[in-house]
Chains A and B, each alone.
Chain A
Amino acid sequence: WPYCRKRCSYCSFNTYVVRAVDEAAVRACLLREAQTLLRLSGVHSVTSVFFGGGTPSLASPGTVAAVLEAVAGAAHLPAAAEVTLEANPSSASTSRLAGFRAAGVNRLSIGVQSLDDAELRMLGREHTAAEARQAVEAARGLFPGRTSIDLLFGLPGQSRDAWAQRLEAALRLCDEHISLYQLTLERGTALAAQVRGGALPAPPQDLLADMYEDARNVLVAAGFRHYEVSNFARKGALSTHNLSYWRADEYIGVGPGAHGRFVLRGEGGCSREARVQTLEPVTWMREVQSQGHGTRSRKVLNPLEQLEELLSLGLRTDEGITHERWGHFSPQLSLQDVFGEPGEARALQQEGWLVLDSGGLRCTWAGLAVLDSLLPDLLCQLQR
C-alpha cells in the first residue's frame, strides 16, 4: 500500500502522500496484478503474505480481504499461512485491528520506532509514545504471540544510555518479535539534510557498534533468539515471510515498487528472475489495467548471481546457509567445494568470524556484526 499520511523525516521508501486515494481503483489493480503474477509464476501454494508499504493500515480491511481472496482464488492459500500487516500506531485502533483480523490477517508488525516523544518528533512520526503503547497492547490482545514491533537506534544525538532506556521500555511492552533497525541517513531525506547542515550531529561509528552490541546482549538475555541481523524472536515467533527472503525462496511482489524473485513456470520458464514493479502508483495502475501487471523491470539471474544473493542474504541469519539449500542452487559445487579449500573463507574461519561445518556455512556471533567486511572476500572466492 504505497500511501502515507505524511513522510517521516528519515524515510526514502517508495511511498506517496496524496490528498485522496481512489481505494477502489487501487484495490482492483492489486487484485488484478496478484492474479496475473500468480498465474505467470505457476505457483501452487502460497506460504505467506505480507502487506507492506507505505502505511498498509491506512487501507481498509475490505481491501485486505479482497486481496487475500484473490490470492486464494489463484493458488492454494492454507489457513495456517502467515498473513502479516504492517501498521502505524496512528491507524491501529482496536476496532480497526479487529477488522484486519477478520479480513484474514494473523500477524501484525507495528512501526513503533521509538518510545520517546522527543525522538518521535525528530523522526517525524505521527504518533506519541503513549499512542504507540496503546497500539501494541491492542495488537497483543488480538494477535497474541504474533505481534512484532520495529525499533530504530542510532538516532542523531542519541546516547548509549538513552538507547539502553529505550530497549528496557520496549522489552516491557513487546510481544515475541522485535525488528531492530539502525537509522540510515539516506540522501534526499529531511533528516539527512539536517545532519549534513550541522543542525543535528552524525552518530559516530563506534557508538553505533556499541548500541548494536548492547541491544543484542540485552535481547538475548531476555530470551530472544537473534535469528537475523535485524530480527529477534522468542518462543519460535520468527517471521516466515522474511525468512523466505534470506533463504532465497520464491516471492512475488505486487503493487508499486514491489520486488519479486520467482520463476515463470506458468509460461514454461525455468529461470529465476529478479523483478520490480513500476514505482509511481498512477503509472502502475495504467499498466496493470492495460497489461494485467505493471512490471517495470525483469532480469534473469544466472546461476552465479543466484548464488551470490543466497550467500549475501543467507549469512544474515543465524542458521546461515544449509548444505541442502546451497545444493538447490548449486548441484555441482558444494559449500565445501567452494569455501572449504584454503582461501578467504578458511582464513575468516580461523579468525573466528565464520563457521563451515555439517550444519552449513554461517557467521559466528562476532562475524554477524561485521558481515559486510566478510562478504566481498567470500564473493571473490565464489566468483573464482
Chain B
Amino acid sequence: QEKLDMSTYPVESIRNFSIIAHVDHGKSTLADRLLEITGTISKTDHNKQVLDKLQVERERGITVKAQSASLFYNLEGINYLLNLIDTPGHVDFSYEVSRSLSACQGVILVVDANEGIQAQTVANFYLAFEAQLSIIPVINKIDLKNADPERVEKQIEKLFDIPRDECIRISAKQGTNVEKVLQNVIEKIPPPQCNTADPLKALVFDSTFDHYRGVIANIALFGGEIAKGQKIVSAHTKKRYEVNEVGILTPNEQPTHKLYAGQVGYLIAGMKEVTEAQIGDTLFLYKQPVEPLPGFKSAKPMVFAGMYPIDQTEYNNLKSALERLTLNDSSVTVHRDSSLALGAGWRLGFLGLLHMEVFNQRLEQEYNMSVILTAPTVPYKAVLSSAKLIKEYGKDQITIINPAQFPDKLSVSEYLEPTVLGTIVTPHEYIGKIITLCQDRRAIQKDMLYIDENRVMLKYLFPLNEIVVDFYDALKSLSSGYASFDYEDAGYQSADLIKMDILVNGNPVEELATIIHRDKAYAAGKLLCERLKETIPRQLFEIAIQAAIGKKIIARETLKAYRKNVVAKCYGGDITRRMKLLKRQAEGKRLMRKIGNVEVPRDAFIRVLKRETDK
C-alpha cells in the first residue's frame, strides 16, 4: 500500500474537530454525510453509522468506542486536512469524550430541531466550553414534521450565550446544508497551535487491539513529528516502544510516512495490551520527555457486577473470552472473585450500567458465552472501628464491592455510599412526577431553573445505587420519553447500610445478596421475593422464599407444591411430541442450580435482577 505524504498539509490547513450531541440527535449521521461529501467514502445508501464498527453499536444505535477519520476538502483553492474525532455520546463515557475533545480545537454541537437541548447537550457543551473550544451550533432533523428550529435557536442563545444567527439548520439524513457546516469548520475553528520543530508530544485518545498487529493507538500530535523506527515512551507506564507504523484513518487505516504536529491518526508500536496505551496518556520520544498532557486519569468504575460461568467446566472458556474482550476495553476492571454457591468467577467494574449491558451483550454475541450475572453493586465504603479488621486490611477505610465482604455494624463506625450529581432536563408538565421519583430515590434537590418557557433543568444529589438499576427507565417512562438524564461523580456520603440476604427454603442465595440502605430494604426484599417466586418452577414440595437482614425475616413469598403434574389427555399413539417435551425438560434439569433441594433455572437470577423494561 502506498504511503501517504502528510507533509503537504501545513498546520494552518489543519482543522481538528469533534461532533458532540445528546443521544440520537444525529451525530453519527452527520459524520456519515461529512465522510461522503469529502469523498472519504462513496455516496451510497448503505452509509449508516459508518464509524460505528461494533455490532452492538450498530444494533443499539450508540457509539461506544471513539473512532476518528481524516477528511480532505478543498475550499477556495486550498486543500484542508479535517480530522473528525467521533465521540461516545453516553454519560458513562464522559471521560473518553473529554480526552477526545482535548485533541480538538472546535466542536460541532448538534441539537435535534424537535427535542431541543437535552441533558447531554448541556453536559457536552460544558466539556467543550471548559476546554475553550470553538463551538459551531447545528440544528439537525429540520426535515421532520415537528421540527422547530426557531425555538431551539432561542434555547441555544439563552443557555449557551451563542448568537442565534450562528446556528446552521441542517438535515443530516438528507444532506441539506451539510456543506455549509464543513465551510464553517474551516472558517470558524482555528488551526492547532503547535510546532513540528518542538519535541514529540502525542495524546492517546483511544486504542484498539488487533490480533495480528497488536495495539493500535489513536493519537493527536501536540508537537513534533513521529515516524517508523522512532523510540517512544509512555508517560503513564514509563515503558519504551519502537514505532512500527503510523498513519491516518479514512476511516480505515492508511499508513503514512510520518505524522506531524497538529495531525491526528494512529500508531502501532509493539504494545501488547490496551492497558499500555490508556486513554489520556502522553507519548514522547525516548530521552526527550515532555510535560504530560493534563487531565489524564485511570478509568474509575461506578458499577460492579459479579460474573460466573454457568458451570465450573466453562471457567476457562469464560476466562479467555473476558481476556479477549477486555483487550479492547481498558476501562473494565477485572478482579478474580469466588462464591460458595457459584464457584470461581470475577467481579467486574464498569463505567456505568450501559457499559455493563454492552459488555454482556458483546460476550454473548461475539464469544457465544452465557454467564451468571450477580446483582450490580456500587463501591460502598466502611470506616472500620474494629482493631482486628483494621489490622487485617491494613487500613481503617475499606471499599466493599462484594456483599460477602460486608463488615458487620459492630466493627464499623460509619458506612459510606457513593453519590452523583444528576442533571435532568424535562418539559415542565412532568416536574411533579419527577420530583416524587427523585425523592423516592433518596435524592436531594440542589438546583432547579427554567431554560426556556417549557423546559426545566433539575439538579439532584443521588446516592449512586439508586440510579444504577432502573432510574433512567422510570424517568423516561413517567415523562413519556421527554426527560433526559446525565450525571457526574460527587463523592461519598454517610449512609445507614445493611446487607440483605435472600433465602430459598432457608438456604441463602449468594448471587442475590445485596447491600442496601435500611429504608429501602423492605420494598427491595419484597420485590425480589415476588420476582423469584415467578421464576422458580413449582416442585414436589413447598418452597419458602424470604428476604432477611441478619436473622430477621423482612419479606416472604410461598411457592406451593405440585399436587398434579401429569398429562391426562387422549393420545392416540402420538407420543413423539410428548417425548420431545420431556427430554427438553430433562435437558433443562441439567442446567439447573440446586439451592438446598430446590431446583432453580440458572437464568432465574438474571430474570430477577434484570430491569422489567429490558428486552
Contact = CB atoms under 8 A, between A and B. Distances in A.
Interface in A239-263: 245, 251, 253, 258-261
A372 B570 contact: no
Given A245-B573, A253-B573, A369 B565 contact: yes
A84 to B, nearest CB: 12
A143 interface: no
Interface stretch (B386-394, B504-512, B577-585): B577-585
6 contacts: A52-B572, A370-B566, A372-B565, A372-B567, A375-B585, A376-B588
Interface stretch (B217-225, B368-376, B556-564): B556-564
A376 B586 contact: yes
Interface stretch (A40-48, A178-186, A330-338): A178-186
Given A230-B569, A259-B573, A351-B540, A370 B563 contact: yes
B586 A209 contact: no
Nearest to A379: B586
A312 B563 CA distance: 19
B573 A309 contact: no
A258 B571 CA distance: 11
A206 B563 CA distance: 7
B583 A308 contact: yes
Contact of B589 (A52, A276, A376): A376
Contacts of A368: 566
Contacts of A369: 563-566
B573 A376 contact: no
B574 interface: yes
Interface string A43-57: 000000000100000
A198 B574 CA distance: 31
Interface string A361-384: 000000011111101110110010
A181 B568 CA distance: 5
Contact of B586 (A251, A305, A380): A380
B47 interface: no
Contacts of B196: none
B573 A229 contact: no
B454 interface: no
A150 B571 CA distance: 13
A209, A309, A316, A370 — which one has the most chain B CB atoms within 10 A of its CB?
A370
A274 interface: yes
Given A308-B579, A373-B540, A376-B586, 20 more contacts: A150-B570, A209-B563, A212-B564, A229-B568, A230-B569, A253-B573, A259-B573, A259-B575, A274-B576, A313-B575, A316-B566, A369-B566, A370-B564, A370-B566, A371-B565, A372-B567, A373-B539, A375-B582, A376-B582, A377-B589
Contacts of A205: 564
Contacts, number: 99
B590 interface: yes
A52 B574 CA distance: 13
Given A312-B579, A373-B539, A380-B589, A181 B563 contact: no
Q: Which secondary structure characterizes the binding site on chain B?
A: loop
Contacts of B576: 259, 274, 276
A134 to B, nearest CB: 23
A16 B563 CA distance: 37
A26 B221 CA distance: 87
Interface in A287-327: 305, 308-309, 312-313, 316
A210 B564 CA distance: 8
A380 B572 contact: no
A181 B571 CA distance: 10
Contacts of B583: 308, 379
Contact of A373 (B562, B572, B579, B588): B562
Contacts of B590: 380
A48 B566 CA distance: 27
A181 B570 contact: yes
Contacts of B574: 259, 276
A212 B573 contact: no
A313 B575 CA distance: 9
A312 B586 contact: no
A379 B578 CA distance: 13
B573 A208 contact: no
Contacts of A116: none
B570 to A, nearest CB: 5
B563 A213 contact: yes
Counting from the closest, the 9 A-B pairs by CB-CB distance are A209-B564, A259-B573, A209-B563, A379-B586, A376-B585, A371-B566, A182-B568, A376-B586, A372-B565
Contacts of A383: 586
A353 interface: yes
Nearest to A153: B568
Interface string A194-212: 0000000000011011101
Interface string B514-542: 00000000000000000000000001100
A13 B568 contact: no
Given A376-B585, A380-B590, A180 B573 contact: no
A360 B413 CA distance: 66
Find the residue from A210, A351, A375 having the highest chain B CB count within 10 A: A375
A98 B59 CA distance: 70
Contacts of A209: 562-564
Interface in B578-615: 578-579, 582-583, 585-586, 588-590
Given A351-B540, A383-B586, A312 B564 contact: no
A231 to B, nearest CB: 10
B566 A312 contact: no
Contacts of A370: 540, 562-566
Contacts of B566: 229, 316, 368-372
A328 to B, nearest CB: 18
Contacts of A261: 573
B238 to A, nearest CB: 56
A253 B563 CA distance: 35
B523 to A, nearest CB: 29
Contacts of B565: 369-373
Contact of A181 (B539, B562, B569): B569
Contacts of B563: 206, 209-210, 213, 369-370
Nearest to B574: A259
A115 B543 CA distance: 39
A87 B571 CA distance: 16
Contacts of B567: 184, 229, 372
Nearest to A258: B573
A305 B576 CA distance: 11
Interface string A165-201: 0000000000000011110100000000000000000
